[in-house]
Structure 1
């Protein structure tokens, strides 16, 4: 059984036992969280799509770790104007291990 969930403004297709990295969630490592924004639930050829959410569906997940992604380097240049700007960004994430998908 799999589900399509929404967290941090993004959508993820998840199944039990998978590990995913999502936008940072304010939860301790080892804590179990429940994601109730489920957009679709499927099992084999069956698919139940919500309008916009599936009523009564939820996904349980355990927080495995917090961290930062690799650095994205930003370089801006205006040619012939003597303008250069260097900038970097590391987005924080929370790694989740998906437990159970329930409808």
Structure 2
């Protein structure tokens, strides 16, 4: 069974047992959280589509760790104007392990 969930402004296709890095969620490591914004759920040929969410559907997940992604380098330059700007960014993430999908 799989589901499409919305968290952190993004959509993810998840299955049970999958590990997934999402935008940072304020929860302790080892805590169990519920993702209740399920947009779609399917198993084999049967598919349920929400409008926009499926009523009563949820995905149980456990927080595995928190961390930061690799650095993204930003470089801005205007040619012939002697302007250069360098900047870096590391986005925080929360790694989740999907335990169960209830549709």
Q: Which category describes the TM-score, using the shorter chain as reference length?
A: over 0.9
Distance 2:37 2:64 in 1: 20
Which residue in 2 is equivalent to 1:98?
A: 98
Instruction: With the length of structure 2 as denominator, give the TM-score of the two structures.
Output: 0.99
4+ long deviations beyond 4 Å = none
Which residue in 1 is equivalent to 2:48?
A: 48
Following TM superposition, by how much is the alpha carbon of 1:89 offset from its aligned partner in structure 2, in angstroms?
0.3
Instruction: With the length of structure 1 as denominator, give the TM-score of the two structures.
Output: 0.99
Which residue in 2 is equivalent to 1:89?
A: 89
Aligned residues: 103
Following TM superposition, by how much is the alpha carbon of 1:39 offset from its aligned partner in structure 2, in angstroms?
0.2
**Long gaps (5+) in structure 2:** none
Superposed CA RMSD in Å reads: 0.4
**Long gaps (5+) in structure 1:** none
SS of equivalent residue, structure 1 residue 51: coil
Following TM superposition, by how much is the alpha carbon of 1:79 offset from its aligned partner in structure 2, in angstroms?
1.0
Which residue in 2 is equivalent to 1:8?
A: 8
Q: How does 1:15-54 map to 2 (within 5 A)?
A: 15-54=15-54
